[in-house]
Amino acid sequence: MKTLVINCGSSSLKYQLIDMETEESLVQGLVERIGIDGSILTQKVEGKNKYVIEENMPNHKTAIKHVLNALVNKEHNIIESMDEIGAVGHRVVHGGEKYSHSVIIDNEVLESIRDCISLAPLHNPPNIIGIEACRELMPNTPMVAVFDTAFHQTMPKEAYICPLPYELYEKYGIRKYGFHGTSHMYVSQKIAEVMGKDIKDLKIVTCHLGNGCSLAAVKGGKSIDTSMGFTPLAGVMMGTRSGSIDPSVISFLMEQYDYTINDIDEILNKKSGVLGISGVSSDFRDVLAESEKGNKRAKLALDIFHYKVRAQIAAYAGIMGGVDVIVFTAGIGENSAITRKECLRGLEFLGFEIDDERNSIRGKIQEISTDTSKVKVYEIPTNEELMIARDTVKLVSKL
Ligand code: AMP
């Protein structure tokens, strides 16, 4: 079955068409600047020229129409007609407590995703718009919602209940949900396969280090804790997000210096983290380059980042009673040897030994620990799209 995977952001849309007979990605595309001047669709197929559409795309429905046209274009020759798309899998950021698994989308499911808007006001609305647009344009194609929060629904209460008045959880759903679930699930399953072990026997720490960063403790194949929280702002430091800080900083800035809640939101989400400390960029490549040139704040940003990740790895090894394998994934985790090394520095007592030559390889499945290392360390490129497509096919084939 050819499965279209859609990931809608507020002004962007990423897509992939995957042939699920072979799990081969046939085409990848990105639409940017939806609803803004200068909309552009760029589609890539291996070994062929890029296919680009630069046309006004005032909304997601128009963008998806262009995606469907791009998929049937003669130059790329991927599919002859839309009828070849057997199913669509949608990435949905927040499924609240209701969804611990992916689900076939019907009106009721769409309503439940709408109910979660207050929990993810930036993310769920574009996800819903994408689903609605696809349903309108492909009314007979089954669609599945795959939630970023679902994998973490196995966390025990001591991990997900915040130490706040319990009524805030009961009344408003304030608790840890965790995000990047599809990625943590993919790499934890992949590492078990790569090591030839039953996932039920493994204690894994997964480190998803990209623009957003989160770690998870995966024991016996289940997420038992993760670093993001009620929103993706919590946990370790990220590109522009602060990660967890003392919440009193907020009332202090508001009371003493007249910051508004919007200012605070902007600071914590967009002006903090690696960007905020370094003053250089949120992009790790820029900050690494500046640090090498001797920029002290760039170095400090990296030092803090490594420290936070290191502390989180140790904490998760602690709560699992040890660790069998540590996995690095996403843009930074897959590509930056120095970051991996620094995030592990001082944690050798856990039982691993790093092989520097292996660690210098990037962007592919690679063990970076030595053959004799008791605890293993790997980099595993994440593949959230494939995970979404797998879930989609699994559910659709039961229809
Ligand atoms: P993602 O959100 O997974 O796309 O990851 C984006 C992050 O990965 C950005 O901070 C990039 O700077 C970082 N990144 C990508 N390639 C490299 C690289 N070769 N070395 C260090 N960081 C990288």
Q: How far is CA 134 from CA 110, 147, 175, 308, in A?
A: 13, 17, 32, 40
Ligand 1 binding site (Cβ under 6 Å of any ligand atom):
210-211, 239, 283-285, 288, 330-332, 335-336
**Residue tagged 């699994």 (tokens):** 394
Identify the helix (H) or strand (E) that includes residue 337: helix 337-344
Distance CA 175, CA 97 (A): 10
Distance CA 386, CA 391 (A): 9
Q: What is the pLDDT of residues 203-253, one digit of tens each?
A: 999 999 999 999 999 999 999 999 999 999 999 999 999 999 999 999 999
Distance CA 248, CA 293 (A): 36
Distance 299 CA to ligand 1 centre (A): 17
Ligand 1 atom 23 nearest Cα: 332
Instruction: Choose the residue to mutate in 208, 237, 285, 339 for probing ligand 1, maximizing ligand atoms within 8 Å of C-beta.
Output: 285
Distance 277 CA to ligand 1 centre (A): 18
Q: In 3D, which of 83, 61, 91, 86 has the Cα closest to residue 3?
A: 86
Distance 209 CA to ligand 1 centre (A): 8
pLDDT at 276 over 90: yes
Domain boundaries, the chain: 2-147, 198-384
What residue type is 367 in one-letter code?
Answer: E
Write the Ramachandran bin of 365: left for phi over 0, alpha for psi from -120 to 50, otherwise beta.
beta
- Out of 45-49, 227-231, 285-289, least confident range: 45-49
pLDDT at 196: 98
pLDDT at 77 over 90: no
Distance CA 121, CA 104 (A): 22
C-alpha torsion sign, points 300, 301, 302, 307:
positive
Q: Helix 107-115 vs helix 124-137: angle between axes, to the nearest 10 degrees?
A: 160
What residue type is 53 in one-letter code?
Answer: I
Give the number of the atom of ligand 1 that is nearest the alpha carbon of residue 284. 12
Tokens (6 digits) for 87: 């199913």
Measure CA of the first residue to CA of the last residue in the chain; give whole Å.
14
> Catalytic residue among 19, 37, 115, 148, which?
148
CA torsion 233→238→239→240, rounded to 10°?
A: 30
Give the number of the atom of ligand 1 that is nearest the alpha carbon of residue 382. 3
- Whether the full predicted model's pTM is greater than 0.85, yes or no, is yes
Active site residue 355: no
Q: What is the pLDDT of residues 335-348, one digit of tens each?
A: 999 999 999 999 99
Instruction: Choose the residue to mutate in 180, 236, 277, 284 for probing ligand 1, maximizing ligand atoms within 8 Å of C-beta.
Output: 284
Alpha-helix residue ranges (DSSP H) falling in 138-223: 157-160, 166-172, 181-195
Distance CA 323, CA 307 (A): 19
Q: Which CATH architecture has domain 2-147?
A: 2-Layer Sandwich (3.30)
Same fold, 2-147 and 198-384: yes
198-384 classified as CATH 3.30.420.40: yes
Q: What is the pLDDT of residues 18-46, one digit of tens each?
A: 999 999 999 999 999 999 899 999 999 99
Phi, psi of 255 (to 5 degrees): -75, -45
Tokens (6 digits) for 314: 């140790």
Q: What is the pLDDT of residues 192-214, one digit of tens each?
A: 999 999 999 999 999 999 999 99
Give yes or no for a contact between 301 and 283, defined as CB atoms under 8 angstroms apart: no
Ligand 1 atom 22 nearest Cα: 332
Instruction: Choose the residue to mutate in 91, 281, 305, 332 for probing ligand 1, maximizing ligand atoms within 8 Å of C-beta.
Output: 332
